[in-house]
A and B are shown apart, each in its own frame.
Chain A
């Protein structure tokens, strides 16, 4: 073989040895895709073979319940992506915005109610994001403090019970179904779409991934990290406010009990969906998948006659498993 040909061969040679079929099917260093596929298929088979799962009331209630937590989870995704793990105050914000919405609708009509609740959710959360991003305050502690403050403040203004919608108030088309799909689920899909568009099409979204991946690196290339983090919290507050509004509409009333425990179910959906705890990797669509997976498991368990408590335990085990598997898959 002449020398130039050998040189060209060397240059053209594909460096990677072809993957063996074994590696293609199951890569021991990254078992996540396989596990994910197995779980999905198993879940689908389990759900479809459970009698009553495909009945209309079952599907409809599944889509409704998943939407309340789903909206909070979509917001939580942004917080997790920003590298701040989770917020403990989103549940309190759901309750507070539900109360603000009901009170404002009673006072000034539907449009005013929407505006007031969304503004309250955005403000309460953006303030936390600002403190976290600007001063570097610990996100867990700030959100715990906010939880305490929100509960205290709502009680202080004299609303520690339940507020009911006035007799004249009509939520019209917000109650019921759109083309056979519960209104709540339509809202949830909209929230997911908005969240995903923000992440993938805006500069803010790109910065968010950068900030979550490495705060220092983002700062070094000139990202104003505190703005990005505040923005993530602001959107999370708005999405949670939407969950509060939908709860208030559905039950024609509002109380602080509405949001209790939502932050845990939300973070479970985020992590099961595959967003990385450390931040910087994940998406809102994944959270949609995570929320649906958890909801389907819950419905199947319920239809199989298991008490509700088992769902909590299962969700916990699922989260633990996902957290452990995640970092294995990411590799060293």
Chain B
């Protein structure tokens, strides 16, 4: 059991996903509420919202940093897209992604050049981005008058997917390919494992770190734009709505908080676990708080199991118990 939970981080997410699906299917017991195309569709919709954010956040966690600003970027990009994309959604998308790129590069640059902790800097980024979003929306919900686009984004493709989820899946596939097949992937893991060793070995640590913060911001921006377009409105998102599942998904997907481990596909499966849980609870008629509690409990459990002192403390306790 402990081996399953701790060491085999690439099997853990898949096992968890299977367990979740089986348990929910059993809870539904053949009434067809859970194992249906509609549930699968909404699962992938949630995947499309959380997935890219979790991927960006997860990559920053792999290099032992933490990008808090993703939530702010998610809101700000949605607002920018809705305001500037009134005539053409492509212009809105482009400007929002450009803002994401600029914000991410700026934060990465500050972190790398001034040797600052990422949590502090991205906390500042989060507050600035949220502030810009609040100024842009005047703290209201901005409508977006392009219902056609909203409908097009929500039309099912192949039964269970939509344009939004296809985009999200594509990002995961591309990132997974880059991480598995190119030098960048190995360099990222090297930075997360031992930054100094990676630098001595000739890895462009600074450049890659800036790149990862830029990637994380762009991912959050893209997800924010697509969500705003499909809802046909933009507003300042409540913080907990995105960051809780995104962080949980990254951790469930095998990204260690101490850096150096994790795979994009693992994060993807982690997102799927959370999405399945959320739609599954909904489908079998559980009250909404069950999802909050389940998500919090999972996050807390994994955070504790991931704690670097846990094993030492437990063995200390055991030794003391033996002595008495």
Listed in ascending order, the chain A residues whose CB lies under 8 Å from chain B are 85-86, 88, 131, 134-138, 140-142, 144-149, 151-153, 155-156, 160, 260-261, 264, 267-268, 271, 277-278, 307-310, 312-317, 319-324, 327-328
Q: What's the minimum C-beta distance from A123 to chain B, rounded to whole angstroms?
A: 15
| Cross-chain contact A320 with B125 (CB below 8 angstroms) | yes
Checking A134, A144, A315 against B299 with a beta-carbon cut-off of 8 angstroms, the contacting residue is A144
| Cross-chain contact A309 with B139 (CB below 8 angstroms) | yes
Of the 9-residue stretches B83-91, B116-124, B213-221, which lies at the interface with chain A? B116-124
| Cross-chain contact A138 with B257 (CB below 8 angstroms) | yes
Q: How far is the CA of A316 from the CA of B291 in the complex (A)?
A: 31
- Chain B at the A interface: mostly helix, strand, loop or mixed? helix
| Cross-chain contact B114 with A324 (CB below 8 angstroms) | yes
Complex contacts, B310 vs chain A, CB 8 Å: 135-137
Specify the chain A residue showing the minimal Cβ separation from B116.
Answer: A327
Q: How far is the CA of A147 from the CA of B121 in the complex (A)?
A: 22
Checking B119, B129, B130, B313 against A277 with a beta-carbon cut-off of 8 angstroms, the contacting residue is B119
Complex contacts, A160 vs chain B, CB 8 Å: 289
| Cross-chain contact A136 with B309 (CB below 8 angstroms) | yes
Complex contacts, B299 vs chain A, CB 8 Å: 141, 144-145, 148
Checking A137, A146, A308 against B139 with a beta-carbon cut-off of 8 angstroms, the contacting residue is A308
Complex contacts, A134 vs chain B, CB 8 Å: 307, 309, 313
Specify the chain B residue showing the minimal Cβ separation from A267.
Answer: B123
Q: What's the minimum C-beta distance from A192 to chain B, rounded to whole angstroms?
A: 23
Complex contacts, B128 vs chain A, CB 8 Å: 313, 316-317, 320
Checking A152, A277, A278, A323 against B289 with a beta-carbon cut-off of 8 angstroms, the contacting residue is A152
Q: B47-73 vs A: 1/0 string, CB under 8 Å?
A: 000000000000000000010100000
| Interface hub of B243, B291, B296 (most chain A Cβ within 10 A) | B296
- Chain A at the B interface: mostly helix, strand, loop or mixed? helix
Specify the chain B residue showing the minimal Cβ separation from A322.
Answer: B124
Q: How far is the CA of A314 from the CA of B130 in the complex (A)?
A: 11
Given A277-B117, A320-B127, verify A137-B292 contact (CB < 8 Å): no
| Cross-chain contact B296 with A149 (CB below 8 angstroms) | yes
Q: Report 23 cross-chain contacts, Cβ distance below 8 Å, ordered by A residue.
A: A131-B307, A135-B304, A136-B308, A141-B247, A141-B257, A144-B247, A145-B303, A148-B296, A149-B297, A152-B296, A155-B289, A267-B123, A277-B120, A278-B117, A310-B135, A312-B127, A312-B134, A313-B128, A313-B131, A313-B135, A314-B131, A322-B124, A323-B120
Q: What's the minimum C-beta distance from A149 to chain B, rounded to whole angstroms?
A: 4
Q: What's the minimum C-beta distance from B318 to chain A, rounded to whole angstroms?
A: 15
Complex contacts, B119 vs chain A, CB 8 Å: 85-86, 140, 277
Does B293 sit at the interface, judged by CB under 8 A? yes
| Cross-chain contact A312 with B131 (CB below 8 angstroms) | yes
| Cross-chain contact B295 with A148 (CB below 8 angstroms) | yes
Complex contacts, B30 vs chain A, CB 8 Å: none
Q: How far is the CA of A88 from the CA of B307 in the complex (A)?
A: 19
B residues 267-323 near A (Cβ < 8 Å) are 287-293, 295-297, 299-300, 303-304, 306-310, 313
| Cross-chain contact A153 with B293 (CB below 8 angstroms) | yes
Checking A131, A153, A321 against B304 with a beta-carbon cut-off of 8 angstroms, the contacting residue is A131
Q: How far is the CA of A147 from the CA of B240 in the complex (A)?
A: 8
| Cross-chain contact A156 with B293 (CB below 8 angstroms) | yes
Does B24 sit at the interface, judged by CB under 8 A? no
